[in-house]
């Protein structure tokens, strides 16, 4: 029990793990697996560099600077993943189609039509006509 208390005391006031740390960790694991097949010194150097950044951020006591770095990373990540957000929504929600208006950039939640093909809807924000393609909507019934 004393050892755990010493670790807790040592880690008090240090930054620890965040989303940027997890991102670096994922890249480090990917490079480690890649390096098992190609055996490159350059990949070894990149791995060591990434691990050193991870350790520096993990044990840092400058919490505000690390938080700023993480917020910048999250903004960049969200900006890069934003185009795929509607694809994820369309896969999860079986009753609606999510489409983005090209003029006002708002996401529209449209009811799923019963027939397949190209459908049109009017954006309630700007009035522009939005076109989208749907496959035939079939409800599956289970027979007992």
- Report the SS3 class of residue 122: strand
Number of domains in the chain: 2
Tokens of 134: 């749907």
Q: What is the mean pLDDT of the chain?
A: 85
0.95 exceeded by pTM: no
Tell whether 65 and 39 lie within a shared domain: yes
Tell whether 15 and 63 lie within a shared domain: yes
Tell whether 18 and 58 lie within a shared domain: yes
Contact predicate 101/128, CB 8 Å: yes
Tell whether 45 and 70 lie within a shared domain: yes
Tell whether 97 and 78 lie within a shared domain: no
Domain that holds residue 120: 93-134
Q: What is the mean pLDDT of residues 37-54?
A: 95
**What pLDDT is attached to residue 44?**
94
Cα separation, 61 vs 9, in Å, equals 13
**What pLDDT is attached to residue 28?**
96
Tell whether 74 and 42 lie within a shared domain: yes
pLDDT tens digits for 131-141? 877 765 544 34
Tell whether 53 and 98 lie within a shared domain: no
Cα–Cα distance list, 75 to 20, 35, 36, 60, 135 (Å): 11, 30, 33, 22, 34
Kindly state whether residue 67 falls inside one of the protein's structural domains: yes
Tell whether 8 and 72 lie within a shared domain: yes
């Amino acid at each position: 029990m004393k050892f755990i208390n010493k670790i807790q005391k040592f880690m008090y006031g240090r930054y620890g793990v965040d989303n940027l740390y997890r991102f670096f960790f994922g890249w480090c694991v990917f490079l480690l697996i890649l390096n098992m097949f190609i055996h490159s010194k350059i990949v070894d150097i990149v791995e060591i560099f990434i691990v050193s950044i991870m350790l520096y951020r993990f044990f840092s006591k400058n919490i505000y600077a690390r938080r700023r770095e993480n917020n910048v990373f999250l903004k960049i990540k969200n900006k890069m993943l934003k185009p795929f957000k509607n694809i994820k929504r369309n896969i999860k929600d079986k009753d609606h189609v999510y489409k983005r208006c090209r003029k006002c950039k708002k996401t529209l939640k449209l009811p799923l039509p019963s027939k397949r093909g190209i459908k049109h809807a009017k954006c309630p924000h700007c009035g522009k006509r939005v076109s989208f393609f749907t496959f035939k909507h079939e409800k599956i019934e289970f027979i007992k």
